[in-house]
Chain A
């Protein structure tokens, strides 16, 4: 049997009729009930709405506590040790940047407008998911400063072998590693095993991979017209 457009539409309408008859999804009971609706809104706001928002809020809160703790240490040091102050200052700076980005994400998630076109909204959502990479890169930048906070002038000036053979090479290694990670943790390398290990494995990583695929799919979906034009010009 050869299907025509009308046959497909007829099947769809018949399916529609059956759904209506079978009442697979009964909206009658709640869709018209304003009170249910208001209650449900509150309930949803508490539970499902913010799985992503909740995680980011938690990260912000944790970050604020960490920054406060580091700030107290810096204040207590009173610039007695410049290495300590600069190291902690830089760690605070990268954490502040990450917090600002997280807050920006929370605002963007709350501002998502589902009444915009499907390709635009979905691409925005997928890109928002992918921006986790950016935060991860920023946070890796603080790594070398965890190797320098205990430095002081006497350690560098007088302790010869221990500093130059152990402390300094380790710090140098972490500086080089940080530069490498900063340059290479990006969407292009998402499929590499070490990115998977460093970033996160499990559902969150899987959703990032899916988001990357989906962005490519959306681009492909929108691009077809250009291909068509090329085809027409041939």
Chain B
């Protein structure tokens, strides 16, 4: 038992929260291969950081911190190493899978595009907001104060809403 059992338990925890990895990978990588690479990198870093995990802490908050840190680093590395990726590649892929090209599809693509247009840190903040994290959790994950989170969130939301309304004019 021992290490293997502990390892499997830990991976079970990751599996239970795999949605976090999927959503973050989709927000930071446009290409499928990159998303898979990033997902593997996140899992490995989660494992490596596992020693620092305090069980009294909420697992998802801890996982967001690791996953977003790895995603931002990965994004910065690929951004400087290769030419910028098309912003909506992931959305097209998503669109291909679903047949109905209704208003929701359009809104999903637009939201994803607007999120992709944000800076790395604002993007992390917006993901956490959409994931319905509390201000306290967002502050803990990002390492800024709650007041700062509130200010930034309201500014970023305003920017995104504005883009939506400009397109709908």
B55 within 8 A of A: no
A66 interfacial by beta-carbon distance below 8 Å: no
Task: Tell me the complex Cα distance, A125–B132, Å.
Answer: 28
Contact indicator B22/A19 (Cβ below 8 Å): yes
| Closest Cβ neighbor of A35 among chain B residues | B4
| Nearest CB in chain A: distance from B101 CB, A | 13
CB-CB under 8 A for A222 and B94, given A9-B130, A18-B108, A114-B65: no
The 9 closest A-B pairs by CB, nearest first: A117-B143, A22-B97, A12-B130, A119-B143, A115-B49, A114-B69, A225-B148, A207-B80, A3-B161
Which residues from A are CB-within-8-Å of B73?
122, 125
Mark out the residues of chain B between 1 and 35 whose CB falls within 8 Å of any chain A CB in the assembled complex: 4, 7-8, 11-12, 14-15, 18-19, 21-23, 25-26, 32, 35
Counting chain A CB atoms within 10 Å of each CB, the highest count among B94, B121, B132, B165 belongs to B121
Contacts A18-B97, A114-B65, A116-B65; A222 near B148 (Cβ below 8 A):
yes
Interface of B: prevailing SS: helix
**Residue in A1, A20, A210, A222 whose beta carbon sits within 8 Å of that of B164 in the complex:** A1
Give the total number of A-B pairs whose CB atoms are below 8 A apart. 175
Question: Do A225 and B144 form a contact, CB below 8 Å, given A12-B111, A31-B14, A122-B69?
Answer: yes
A78 sits at the interface (CB 8 A):
no
A103 to B8, CA, bound (A): 34
**Pair B8/A11 contact, Cβ less than 8 Å:** no
A22 to B18, CA, bound (A): 15
Question: Is B151 in contact with A31, judged by CB distance below 8 angstroms?
Answer: no
**Chain A residues with CB under 8 A of B81:** 203
Given contacts A24-B90, A115-B49, A118-B68, contact A8 B97 (CB under 8 A): no
A54 at interface, CB cutoff 8 A: no
Whether A27 contacts B39 in the complex (CB less than 8 A), given A8-B157, A34-B7, A210-B80, comes out as: yes
- B98 partner residues in chain A, CB cutoff 8 A: 18, 21-22
New contact pairs (7) apart from A24-B90, A225-B151, CB-CB < 8 Å? A8-B111, A8-B130, A32-B11, A116-B65, A122-B121, A221-B144, A228-B151
Known: A3-B161, A27-B15, A118-B141. A11 touches B111 (CB 8 A): yes
The answer to whether A9 touches B18 (Cβ under 8 A) is no
Neighbouring B residues of A2 by C-beta, 8 Å: 161, 165
Structural contact, A214 and B68, CB atoms closer than 8 A: no
Is the CB–CB distance between B143 and A224 below 8 Å? no
Instruction: Tell me if B117 counts as interface (CB < 8 A to partner A).
Output: no
- Which B residues touch A224, using CB under 8 A? 144, 148, 151-152
Complex contacts, B70 vs chain A, CB 8 Å: 114
Residue B134, interface by CB 8 Å: no
Report B45 CB to chain A, min CB distance, Å.
Answer: 5
A72 at the interface (CB under 8 A from B): no
- Chain A residues with CB below 8 A from B120, complex form: 122, 214, 217
Stretch at the interface among A36-44, A79-87, A163-171, A184-192: A36-44
A59 to chain B, nearest CB (A): 19
In the complex, chain A residues whose CB is within 8 Å of the CB of B68: 118
